[in-house]
Amino acid sequence: MKAINLKEFGAADNLFLDNVDMPVAGSGQVLIKVHACSVNRPDIVQREGNYPPPPGDSEIIGLEVAGTVEAIGDGVTRYKTGDKVFALVGGGGYAEYAVAYEGHTMPIPDALDFKQAACICETYITAYLNTIVLTEAKSSETFLLHGGGGGVNTAAIQLCSALIESSTTIVTASTGKVERVKSLGADYVIDYKTQSFADEVKTCTQGKGVDVILDHIGGAYFKDNMKSLAVGGRLVVIGLMGGIKSDINLAVMMVKRQKIIGSVLRSRPVAEKTQIITDFEYTVMPLFADKKIVPLISDVFPLSEAAAAHKAMEQGSHFGKIVLEVV
């Protein structure tokens, strides 16, 4: 089959279309003929050599796919060949065929095409798990979402609006994306290029602070994140684009009863991911089926142009997901 391979760790130009062996569905797995996959920030980190796949998963980049079931392994009961599915994979997404565990796979609703379905698993499940589930989010809470027009952030805006009654969302975005973020339903948008988000959060919340922060920056934002948390607030760190280290005032954290949660989806055990996806399918997928949430696609590239897709993500001008179409 054709797949995107890597000459060596480093720049996007090291990605190239290659001929490789087709994977085989093992016990409890399905083989998917991929129609579309999507580009995620962890893909870039893996390309640079800093995010290896879990043991046993494909070395090929790509964390989510959508397509049709080509073959099923022993013990698979939910699907038959030809079924339209989308899946979370530990690796192997940038290819004509990919293997996924049955429990990490969901049927594609009639309301979605393959490209839209390819946008859901990594971003919406990440947003749901880290913004709603791990924080035990409640009605009327206030959320600070970092990431402007990125896939996880736009998903989190939609999910907060749909699932958390009377929620308030404050979003940081670059100057060129402020109006588009507002159009998604954010209550307040902070231009992080020209404004201090900690100062703006204080103003927006009348000094109270926010209940939940979803952050992919890490060290560079840590101090201002902690300043922005309310009493009992929860900070969830899902990325480290801004560094891995920062100082912390433990006394303030203790007095304000704040929580810091670190979270990664990819390295969780198979059974744990199955449970997360089962919960997501029950709670969130009806919103897609009813078109109450529509995946936001920024750009579509053919699989052969994966390098160009990575460059587009690194430039940061995208708004929503970048999709690779397998044609």
Residue 121: its pLDDT value, please?
A: 95
How would residue 8 be classed by pLDDT, with cut points 50, 70 and 90? very high
How would residue 187 be classed by pLDDT, with cut points 50, 70 and 90? very high
Same domain, 156 and 221: yes
Per-position b or e across 290-312, b if 16+ CB within 10 A of its CB: eeebebbbbbbbebbbbbebbeb
Residue 70: its pLDDT value, please?
A: 98
Same domain, 167 and 243: yes
Same domain, 230 and 292: no
Residue 127 belongs to a domain: no
pLDDT digits (tens, 9 = 90+) for 234-243: 999 998 888 8
pLDDT digits (tens, 9 = 90+) for 34-79: 999 999 999 999 999 999 999 999 999 999 999 999 999 999 999 9
Number of structural domains, the chain? 2
Residue 308: its pLDDT value, please?
A: 98
Same domain, 217 and 320: no
How would residue 193 be classed by pLDDT, with cut points 50, 70 and 90? confident
Domain of 233, CATH number, reads 3.40.50.720
Same domain, 11 and 107: yes
The 3-state secondary structure of the chain, one letter per residue: CEEEEECCCCCHHHEEEEECCCCCCCCCEEEEEEEEEEECHHHHHHHCCCCCCCCCCCCCCCCEEEEEEEEECCCCCCCCCCCEEEEECCCCCCECEEEEEHHHEEECCCCCCHHHHCCCHHHHHHHHHHHHHCCCCCCCCEEEEECCCCHHHHHHHHHHHHHCCCCEEEEEECHHHHHHHHHCCCCEEEECCCCCHHHHHHHHCCCCCEEEEEECCCHHHHHHHHHHEEEEEEEEECCCCCCCCCCCCHHHHHHCCCEEEECCCCCCCHHHHHHHHHHHHHHCHHHHHCCCCCCCEEEEEEHHHHHHHHHHHHHCCCCCEEEEECC
pLDDT digits (tens, 9 = 90+) for 273-308: 999 999 999 999 999 999 999 999 999 999 999 999
Same domain, 255 and 283: no
% of the chain residues with pLDDT over 90: 85
**Of 262, 295, 315, which residue sits at a domain end?**
262
> Could you list the residue range(s) of the whole structural domain that residue 213 is in?
135-262
**Of 209, 237, 262, which residue sits at a domain end?**
262
pLDDT digits (tens, 9 = 90+) for 151-181: 898 999 999 999 999 999 999 998 888 888 9
Same domain, 115 and 87: yes
Same domain, 254 and 180: yes
Residue 148 has pLDDT above 90, yes or no: no
Determine the angle formed by the axes of helices 197-204 and 219-228, rounding to 10 degrees.
Answer: 20
Q: Which residue has the tokens 């959320």?
A: 143
Same domain, 139 and 258: yes
Residue 130 belongs to a domain: no
Same domain, 140 and 255: yes
Residue 25 belongs to a domain: yes
Domain of 89, CATH number, reads 3.90.180.10
pTM score, two decimals? Answer: 0.93
**Of 207, 232, 262, which residue sits at a domain end?**
262
Residue 323: its pLDDT value, please?
A: 97
